[in-house]
A and B are shown apart, each in its own frame.
Chain A
Amino acid sequence: GQSLEQPSEVTAVEGAIVQINCTYQTSGFYGLSWYQQHDGGAPTFLSYNGLDGLEETGRFSSFLSRSDSYGYLLLQELQMKDSASYFCAVRDPRGQNFVFGPGTRLSVLP
């Protein structure tokens, strides 16, 4: 089976940098994704790591260490609109679908 852990809440101020961690325990591993979800909205895809290392997409970066079963999402130059829940998800090797973590609620303060 698959299990993922994320901090439940993170708070930061506008302009700062924040890191959201994700640790996982899986019977097999094929990749780690990150999604953003605003209150009342749909999850939207942010990034995917299939191999170790850092992937950068604008203000957002995602990192993966398969040997440590660990990844993180790094958000730079925080803006108020970044206040949302962030979910990591690992690919389930059985059906090629994804198992989502419990989510981290990010609050950006002025």
Chain B
Amino acid sequence: EAGVAQSPRYKIIEKRQSVAFWCNPISGHATLYWYQQILGQGPKLLIQFQNNGVVDDSQLPKDRFSAERLKGVDSTLKIQPAKLEDSAVYLCASSTGHGSYEQYFGPGTRLTVT
């Protein structure tokens, strides 16, 4: 089966600009996650969707970050405006359901904010 797809793989922007990331989860996976991984650290959950509803967005900086999963399949994560500290890898993951303990990660988007 095809894995989790993400695009773009790399993005360089200047601070205060906006950027969007796209994720297509594994077919049939109901749960989708966006993580931020700063170099040398573990992934930090930004938002979790169950189908097209938000389960947990408690760590999403909502003043600048937004995410949607309109049809319960693919998802976009947006940052507007970007700050230097947003430089990180943004990982998308999916799992079969709310209680599943195995997550499948995409290759990530490496964002550099200058």
Alpha-carbon distance between A102 and B44 when the two chains are bound, in angstroms:
10
Question: Which chain A residue has the least Cβ–Cβ distance from B42?
Answer: A100
Alpha-carbon distance between A66 and B91 when the two chains are bound, in angstroms:
29
Most chain B CB within 10 A, of A87, A98, A100, is at A98
Question: Which chain B residue has the least Cβ–Cβ distance from A88?
Answer: B42
Most chain A CB within 10 A, of B55, B104, B105, B106, is at B105
Contact mask for chain B residues 97-109; partner A; CB cutoff 8 A; 1 contact, 0 none: 0110111111110
Question: Which chain B residue has the least Cβ–Cβ distance from A99?
Answer: B45
Distance to closest chain A CB from B29 (angstroms): 13
Alpha-carbon distance between A32 and B41 when the two chains are bound, in angstroms:
18
- Number of residues on chain B facing chain A (CB within 8 A): 23
B56 within 8 A of A: yes
Distance to closest chain A CB from B111 (angstroms): 14
Q: Tell me whether A97 and B105 are in contact (CB under 8 A).
A: no
Distance to closest chain B CB from A105 (angstroms): 9
CB proximity to A under 8 Å, residues B56-114:
56, 91, 93, 98-99, 101-108
Set B44, B56, B101, B108: member contacting A95, Cβ < 8 A: B56
Chain B residues within 8 Å of A, Cβ to Cβ = 4, 33, 40-45, 48, 55-56, 91, 93, 98-99, 101-108
